Amino acid sequence: MLSVVVPVYNRAKLLPLTLASLLAQTQPADEILVVDDGSSDGSAAIAEAFGPPVRVIRQVNQGPAAARNRGLAEARGEWVHFFDSDDLALPDLHANQLRLLEASGADVAYAPWLKCEISAQAIVPTNQVLQQHGLPAGDLVRALLTNWSVVPICCLIRTRLARQVGGFPVDLQVGEDQLFVLRLLLAGAQFVHTPGTLVVYRADNSGKQSCAAGGRQLRDWARFLLLAREACLLHGIEPSRWFDFRLRVWDARVSLQALADPCDAELIDTLRALEAARWPRCAYSIKRSLRRKSGGLSWRLYGRRAHRSFRSGPLTPCQHQALHQLQVSL
């Protein structure tokens, strides 16, 4: 069985397109669990109107992680897909992923994804396809904590393993998905790349359930870095050995200092202690400047800014055609 979990908070205008793309899968989900996280705009009623396999679960507002965890707790499928309430999937996504999971024995199938501006008139890509050419080479834990990120909307995950690692941390609104994926990797989850299909990520983040306001966003990202390190240390891994992890720590500390909030003093001191190891602090600002210039050059030459770990590339003809068909069906 396959379960899809869709957390929803005030997405009445966008939810119908998302559910339509999930219901149009060539490999239908056995259940689509829409977890309404205290919406006030009728999102739950809109989802209920679709009927089976859509099932609505209502709860008071607790945030995106709690909504996903509620869906995970009630999921009956062997596989679970956490999908956002405003994104879209090509019709062959689940069929492609299930086929490769069964053939490989892996625990997580990871698909290419594309940031797009989505409207009634068009689906317009804003960059090249991310993860078009497979997963980063080498250590996925290191890649995740230094220069890569994983979008759960692209992942079909073994339900048992998602529960084993405790689902999503409810005290974070930024980085909660990355900490979940990190825990999967540390638990030994095997990832497999599923080419040829595509997930369409809505580029406009305004109103996304997972978005947090400025100060909260910065604090949660800093806390994510510290929690990620703690999780790694339990497995004998010290992320602060990696310069790019310390670069993230430095960037988080500088951003927090700019808030000038005395309540952040302890968090800032903890971050500063981590970034101090091995390299002078000026190295971080130099590396960030070089990375920005490199990203600008890459954009002008190749139409992409993403780090090479994202293995980005242009749309294939098949993806382009499927994207056009998806647009026509909207």
- Say if CB 184 and CB 107 are below 8 A apart: yes
- The stretch 91-119 carries a mean pLDDT of 95
Same-domain check for residues 153 and 48: yes
Integer angstrom CA distances of residue 283 from 200, 280, 321: 37, 6, 45
pLDDT-above-70 percentage for the chain: 88
Same-domain check for residues 189 and 68: yes
119 vs 267 pLDDT, higher one: 267
Instruction: Tell me which residue has tokens 């293995």.
Output: 311
Same-domain check for residues 203 and 270: no
User: Which residues constitute the domain of residue 93?
Assistant: 2-210+311-329
- Tell whether the model's pLDDT for residue 298 goes beyond 70: no
Same-domain check for residues 33 and 95: yes
Same-domain check for residues 142 and 97: yes
- Tell whether the model's pLDDT for residue 303 goes beyond 70: no
Q: Per mean pLDDT, which range of 112-116, 182-186, 288-292 is the poorest?
A: 288-292
Cα separation, 79 vs 311, whole angstroms: 26
pLDDT-above-90 percentage for the chain: 73
Q: Check residue 287 and give its pLDDT.
A: 63
- The stretch 93-110 carries a mean pLDDT of 97
- The stretch 51-73 carries a mean pLDDT of 96
Cα separation, 181 vs 185, whole angstroms: 6
What is the number of domains present in the chain? Answer: 2
Considering just the CA atoms, what is the radius of gyration of the chain in Å? 20
Same-domain check for residues 188 and 239: no
Q: Check residue 118 and give its pLDDT.
A: 84
Same-domain check for residues 250 and 186: no
Q: Check residue 161 and give its pLDDT.
A: 98
- Tell whether the model's pLDDT for residue 307 goes beyond 80: yes
pLDDT tens for each residue of 237-248: 999 999 999 999
**How is residue 235 written in tokens?**
């497995």
Same-domain check for residues 146 and 16: yes
Q: Check residue 328 and give its pLDDT.
A: 74
DSSP string, 195-227: TT--EEEES--TT-TT---HHHHHHHHHHHHHH
- List the CATH number of the domain containing 147: 3.90.550.10
Cα separation, 192 vs 180, whole angstroms: 17
- Tell whether the model's pLDDT for residue 296 goes beyond 60: no
Same-domain check for residues 73 and 175: yes
- Tell whether the model's pLDDT for residue 208 goes beyond 60: no
123 vs 50 pLDDT, higher one: 50
- The stretch 185-204 carries a mean pLDDT of 94
Q: Where are the alpha helices (DSSP H) in the chain?
A: 15-23, 43-48, 64-74, 93-104, 140-146, 159-164, 176-186, 214-233, 243-259, 265-275, 282-302, 317-329
Q: Per mean pLDDT, which range of 90-94, 229-233, 300-304 is the poorest?
A: 300-304
- Tell whether the model's pLDDT for residue 301 goes beyond 50: no
Q: Check residue 101 and give its pLDDT.
A: 97
194 vs 126 pLDDT, higher one: 194
**How is residue 2 written in tokens?**
């396959």
- Say if CB 240 and CB 277 are below 8 A apart: yes
Same-domain check for residues 251 and 155: no
Which pLDDT band, with edges at 50, 70 and 90, does 141 fall under? very high
Cα separation, 69 vs 169, whole angstroms: 9
Angle at 153 between CA 30 and CA 172, to 5 degrees: 115
> Can you give the pTM of this predicted structure?
0.90
Chain mean pLDDT for the chain? 89
Which pLDDT band, with edges at 50, 70 and 90, does 294 fall under? low
Burial class of residue 42 (count of CB atoms within 10 Å of its CB; 0-12, 13-18, 19+): middle
- Tell whether the model's pLDDT for residue 300 goes beyond 50: no
Q: Check residue 327 and give its pLDDT.
A: 79
- Tell whether the model's pLDDT for residue 212 goes beyond 80: no
Same-domain check for residues 170 and 230: no
Same-domain check for residues 167 and 219: no
Beta bridge partners of 3: 31, 80
Q: Check residue 293 and give its pLDDT.
A: 55
